[in-house]
């Protein structure tokens, strides 16, 4: 079982050692549907063999010349009855395969979504969003198509190969030779075909993911593209990616054009006709037997022709499944630890020799040590890139500490139940994210079931109620994706309201008033003062008005503690703080 930040208690743990076992585990969850499809496929093929046998009997009736009309009528009736039953079984096969494909799409998409929710921020920072979306949508869809029409036709065609092997010897034992030779050569040809097709199918899925990732990136950064007049360059880049995707399918088409079983079918038909005619001339077979045998050989036509498409679809589906399983199995550093420590937070924070890096190499933070008592406010200051935001995200385990310990209430954050820890810590960042939902939903995001009164009270405390009320739909106003329909100050006040509503014991403000004008900042400053009362507050800021009233000030330089103390202590003793302080202004 892989570690994860989030796992539903009722979520079923899958076998994820190999893609074949993973797909099989998902398939066996719907065993009755599989049985319905398999029984339908076998019954369909079995009744298909009845037609050539009955036609052979019809020839014998005509040649015999006795009771021809009655005999033909009986034979025709049997053909109609068997084919009506066959159509019902075929419907069961098709329905079962389609239902199985749809259910696996649903289950795998849910498993992938839960897996993505459980991945760490390190994973999400490195994984392109467009590629993830390609896997979650197109690759999952390919798995559904792999079952229907893919496996649906493969299972059906397998029975059409099996039945002539069983029925032909019943006409005469020597008639098994051609079906066996065809089946063996067909199996070898299909194996070689799939072996050659697999890397091409994987290239096609990979190139689609790359194209989608670059497209998503360009759209997400469309303002930058337009601002620098780089539309032509992005079009050229996209065209190149689309050409690579097309080239993969051209290579697949080239492989399909050289599909050998089509030639093998022609050889089998010729060999079967030659053998049956020789046996007829020797008096071993009747004319009806020749007709029946040739009809059985014609059944090989179905697996030969549909396999060209069906196996390609299966190959694409398995390539998609490998990409999805790769994403699910991608290592994540954090574990939710649902059996860990869970209790109301008092608000004490301590760093003991903490070091952290995003990648192997130079660390973002090195050997940090400090202690913040419950209810105190700490301001973190330093130049851009000094590690301020990284420090804040270690407190609620957005990132995992490398060396040392981060403790909340004298308990290592790795020993906490992550859900309990994060539910009592609220962080407001400079780069705010609002969902494309109503303002009320965005404010209540951290507190499910919050009443309208609670939402409005939080908005009032964050100085957001007035501008929200000015909208035509008020709190039911739907904001654009990422909150683009609101100004920076409005987004930050909604984020503050979201934090106030959850009533966190630890409040982290990451330069949260940087986009707010001075008049609005004064109002929000008072709201922050009120919010900080009785709770531990960490402020990352360049505002002197916020730095001065902090109980403790931490000065970071290149990921290390340059100074630590109160404003008065540092202004008297720390050159690093004096330099920063002299550069700042209200």
Rounded to whole angstroms, the Cα distance separating 369 from 357 reads 16
**Quick one: how many helices (H) and strands (E) in the chain?**
23, 10
Could you read off the pLDDT of 152-189 as tens digits, one per residue? 888 888 888 998 999 999 999 999 999 999 999 988 98
The helix (H) or strand (E) run that includes residue 239 is: helix 231-257
Instruction: Report, as an integer, the average pLDDT of 67-75.
Output: 85
Burial zone of 580 (CB within 10 Å; 0-12 exposed, 13-18 middle, 19+ buried): buried
Give the model confidence (pLDDT) of 426-457 as tens digits.
888 776 778 888 899 988 887 878 889 999 98
Rounded CA-CA distance 496/27 in Å is: 47
- pLDDT > 50? residue 65: yes
| Tokens linked to 286 | 């009747």
What letter does residue 473 receive in the DSSP assignment?
T
Q: How far is it, in rounded angstroms, from Cα 438 to Cα 474?
A: 9
Most distant CA pair in the chain, distance: 123
DSSP letter for 564, please. E
Q: How far apart are alpha carbons 162 and 180 in whole angstroms? A: 10
Residue where the block lists tokens 């034992």: 173
The pair of structure tokens assigned to 464 is 């957001």
Mean pLDDT, range 352-369, rounded to an integer: 80
The predicted pLDDT at position 362 comes to 56
Among 21-25, 123-127, 365-369, 547-551, the range scoring the smallest mean pLDDT is 123-127
Going by pLDDT thresholds of 50, 70 and 90, the confidence category of residue 531 is low
pLDDT at 103: 92
- Please, which residues bridge with residue 539 across strands? 379, 509
Q: Is 148 exposed, middle or buried (0-12, 13-18, 19+ CB in 10 A)?
A: buried
Q: What gap in Å lies between CA 338 and CA 522, rounded to an integer?
A: 41
Which pairing describes strands 506-510 and 536-540: parallel, antiparallel, or unpaired? parallel
**What mean pLDDT do residues 40-66 have?**
87
Q: Parallel, antiparallel, or unpaired for β 403-408 and 560-565?
A: unpaired
Strand arrangement, sheet containing 377-382: 425-428, 506-510, 536-540, 377-382, 552-557, 560-565
229 vs 334, residue with greater confidence: 229
Q: What is the mean pLDDT of residues 496-506?
A: 85
Percent of the chain whose predicted confidence (pLDDT) is above 90: 21
Q: Which of 291, 274, 68 is nearest to 171 (CA)?
A: 291
Omega before residue 299 within 30° of 0, cis? no
Is residue 339 predicted with pLDDT exceeding 80? yes
- Please tell me the predicted confidence (pLDDT) of residue 4: 64
Q: What CA–CA distance (Å, rounded) separates 505 from 405?
A: 20
Strands 403-408 and 349-356: antiparallel
Which residues, other chains included, contact 394 with Cβ-Cβ below 8 Å and sequence gap of 6+? 351, 354, 356, 365, 400, 401, 406, 413
Closest CA to 118 of 9, 276, 241, 24: 9
Considering the chain, what is the average pLDDT of its residues? 84
Q: Average the pLDDT over 258-278 and give the result.
A: 89
pLDDT of residue 586: 44
Residue % of the chain over a pLDDT of 70: 90
Structure tokens at 333: 């550093």
What residues does 378 pair with on adjacent strands? 538, 552
For 24-80, the DSSP string reads HHHHHTTHHHHHHHHHHHHHHHHHHHHHHHHHHHHHHHHHH-SSHHHHHHHHHHHHH
Can you read off the two tokens belonging to residue 101?
């494909």
Q: Which of 67-81, 151-165, 388-402, 515-529 has the lowest mean pLDDT?
A: 515-529
CA–CA dist 77, 82 (Å, integer)? 9
Instruction: List, in order of start, the domains of the chain with CATH numbers.
Output: 19-329 (1.20.1560.10), 349-583 (3.40.50.300)
pLDDT score at 198: 82
pLDDT of 479 above 70? yes
pTM: 0.72
Closest CA to 546 of 579, 575, 518: 518
CB 430 within 8 A of CB 510: yes
Query: What's the rounded Cα separation, in Å, for the pair 2 and 405?
Result: 23
Residues 6 or more apart in contact with residue 584 via CB below 8 angstroms: 542, 543, 544, 547
Most confident of 204-218, 261-275, 541-555: 261-275
Q: DSSP readout, 144-182?
A: HHIIIIIIHHHHHHHHHHHHHHHHHHHH-GGGGHHHHHH
| Nearest to 330, CA basis, from 76, 132, 71 | 132
Residue 87 tokens, joined? 């159509």
Q: What is the DSSP string of 528-555?
A: HHHHHTTSEEEEE---HHHHHT-SEEEE
pLDDT at 494: 85
What are 367-412's pLDDT values in tens digits?
A: 999 999 998 989 898 887 788 888 988 998 888 888 899 999 999 9
Helix (H, G, I), strand (E, B) or coil at 84: helix
The distance in angstroms from the start CA to the end CA of the chain is 52
Q: How far apart are CA 395 and CA 44, in angstroms?
A: 63
Q: Sign of dihedral through CA atoms 235, 237, 241, 246?
A: positive
Tokens of 62: 């005509």
Least confident of 146-160, 411-425, 436-450, 537-551: 537-551
Provide mean pLDDT across the span 286-305: 90
Q: How far apart are CA 448 and CA 498, in angstroms?
A: 11
Say whether pLDDT at 8 is over 70. no
């Amino acid at each position: 079982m892989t570690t994860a930040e989030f796992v539903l208690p009722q979520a079923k743990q899958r076998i994820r050692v190999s893609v074949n076992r993973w797909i099989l585990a998902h398939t066996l969850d719907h065993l009755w549907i599989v049985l319905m499809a398999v029984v339908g496929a076998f019954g369909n093929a079995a009744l298909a063999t009845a037609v050539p046998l009955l036609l052979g009997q019809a020839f014998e009736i005509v040649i015999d010349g006795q009771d021809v009309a009655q005999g033909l009528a009986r034979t025709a009736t049997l053909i109609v009855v068997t084919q009506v039953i066959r159509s019902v079984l075929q419907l069961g096969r098709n329905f079962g395969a389609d239902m199985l494909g749809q259910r696996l799409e649903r289950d795998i998409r849910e498993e992938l979504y839960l897996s993505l929710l459980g991945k760490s921020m390190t994973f999400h920072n490195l994984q392109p969003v467009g590629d993830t979306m390609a896997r979650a949508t197109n690759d999952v869809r390919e798995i559904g198509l792999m079952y229907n029409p893919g496996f649906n036709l493969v299972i059906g065609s397998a029975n059409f190969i099996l039945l002539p092997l069983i029925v032909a010897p019943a006409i005469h034992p020597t008639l098994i030779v051609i079906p066996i030779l065809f089946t063996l050569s067909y199996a070898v040809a299909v194996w070689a075909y799939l072996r050659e097709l697999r890397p091409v199918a994987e290239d096609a899925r990979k190139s689609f993911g790359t194209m989608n990732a670059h497209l998503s990136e360009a759209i997400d950064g469309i303002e930058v593209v337009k601002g620098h007049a780089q539309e032509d360059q992005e079009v050229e880049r996209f065209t190149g990616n689309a050409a690579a995707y097309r080239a993969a399918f051209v290579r697949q088409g080239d492989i399909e054009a050289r599909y050998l079983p089509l030639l093998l079918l022609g050889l089998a038909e010729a060999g079967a006709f030659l053998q049956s005619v020789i046996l007829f001339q020797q008096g071993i077979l009747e004319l009806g037997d020749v007709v029946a045998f040739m009809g059985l050989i014609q059944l090989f036509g179905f697996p030969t022709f549909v396999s060209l498409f069906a196996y390609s679809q299966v190959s694409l589906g398995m390539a998609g499944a490998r990409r999805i399983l790769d994403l699910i199995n991608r290592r994540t550093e954090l574990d939710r630890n649902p059996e860990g420590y869970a209790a109301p937070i008092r608000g004490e924070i301590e760093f003991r020799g903490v070091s952290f890096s995003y990648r192997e190499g130079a660390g973002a933070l090195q050997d940090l040590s400090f202690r913040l008592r419950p209810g105190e406010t700490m301001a973190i200051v330093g130049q851009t890139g000094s590690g301020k935001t990284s420090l804040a995200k270690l407190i609620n385990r957005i990132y995992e500490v490398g060396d040392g310990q981060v403790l909340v209430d004298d308990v290592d954050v790795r020993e906490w139940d992550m859900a309990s820890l994060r539910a009592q810590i609220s962080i407001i960042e400079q780069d705010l994210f609002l969902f494309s939902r109503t303002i009320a939903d965005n404010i209540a995001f951290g507190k499910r079931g919050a009443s309208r009164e609670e939402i409005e009270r939080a908005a009032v405390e964050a100085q957001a109620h007035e501008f929200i009320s000015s909208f035509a739909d008020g709190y039911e106003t739907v904001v654009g994706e990422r909150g683009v329909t609101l100004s920076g100050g409005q987004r930050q006040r909604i984020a503050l309201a979201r934090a106030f509503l959850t009533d966190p014991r630890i409040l982290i403000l990451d330069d949260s008033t940087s986009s707010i004008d001075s008049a609005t900042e004064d109002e929000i400053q008072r709201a922050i003062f009120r919010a900080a009362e009785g709770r531990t507050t960490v402020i990352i800021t360049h505002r002197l008005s916020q730095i001065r009233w902090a109980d403790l000030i931490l000065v970071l330089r290149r990921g290390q503690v340059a100074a630590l103390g109160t404003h008065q202590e540092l202004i008297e003793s720390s050159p690093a703080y004096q330099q920063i302080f002299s550069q700042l202004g209200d």
